[in-house]
Amino acid sequence: MATDGLLQVEGLTKRFGGVTAVDGCSFAVAEGAVTALIGPNGSGKTTLFNLVTGYLPADQGEVTFLGERVARPHPARLCRQGLARTFQQTRVFPHLSVLDNLVVGIQQPWSGLLRRRRGAADQERAEALVADFGLTAVAGQLAAELSYGQRKLVELATVLIGEPRLVLLDEPTAGISPALIPTIERHIRERNAAGVSFLVVEHDMGVVMRLCDPVIVLDRGSVIASGPPPAIQADPRVLDAYLGG
């Protein structure tokens, strides 16, 4: 098996009762790319994310991250190794301030638990990112008091502050106002330029075509096509999967 690339998924399978949500799924995510993972509803994208990040145990198959086989994926451990994710329904810590939300995302050694909650370095890092995301005005507010779009930004910033190598984004633009979509795209692009790789589940094909290369298409739990966006757009199997369901 080739070991180039950041993340490899090999024959991953997950069954819920009689339903096979992910079925022998294999693909690789290359370092430095913004890779899209698309597919019709119910094709297993979110389940795949849950398997890769250790939120669900897989029935079969293996995941390799940074060239090492991940024997038992564990969310926190993977995150400390540089694999972070967001969730489909935007999740922030509602009773923490925006700044504190971000500080939670800063990786800590064990001994860090007893250190000051927001040391000078943390404060600086969080404030810089909050400013970058245009959230300075609400930095002291509870996340619960923010608008949906603002929460989406906070969620993204919280993941990015941990300096991950690869981020799995589950529908980063779902449900937000169209005006905010370019902002989200910009943040992803900027971070990508700074060396962070992304794997993005996205329904908005405009976003996918502008942002991502390559594109992986999932249908009924397995990969049916992958390649650069124009090739995917022209691929009859992809059209079948979306229309023929």
Binding site for other proteins (CB under 8 A): 50, 53, 55-56, 75-76, 79-80, 84-85, 87, 91-97, 100, 103-105, 107-108, 110, 112-118, 123, 140-142, 145, 158-159, 162
Neighbours of 71 (CB within 10 A): 8
Nearer to other proteins, 72 or 95 (CB): 95
Q: Are strands 7-16 and 166-170 parallel, antiparallel or unpaired?
A: unpaired
What is the SS3 assignment for 176?
coil
CB 106 → other proteins: shortest distance, Å?
9
CB 122 → other proteins: shortest distance, Å?
9
Nearer to other proteins, 63 or 208 (CB): 63
**Angle at CA of residue 33, ends 219 and 90, nearest 5°:** 65
Nearer to other proteins, 120 or 193 (CB): 120
CB 16 → other proteins: shortest distance, Å?
9
**CA 35 to CA 207: how far, in whole Å?**
12
User: Which of 230, 198, 204, 232 is CA-nearest to residue 218?
Assistant: 232
User: Which of 156, 84, 168 is CA-nearest to residue 146?
Assistant: 156
CB 224 → other proteins: shortest distance, Å?
24
Which residues touch 23 (CB under 8 Å, ≥6 apart)? 13, 44, 220, 221, 222
Nearer to other proteins, 93 or 242 (CB): 93
DSSP state of 223: E
Residue whose pair of structure tokens reads 């106002």 in the numeric block: 177
CB 101 → other proteins: shortest distance, Å?
8
Neighbours of 32 (CB within 10 A): 13
Nearer to other proteins, 111 or 243 (CB): 111
CB 208 → other proteins: shortest distance, Å?
24
Nearer to other proteins, 79 or 238 (CB): 79
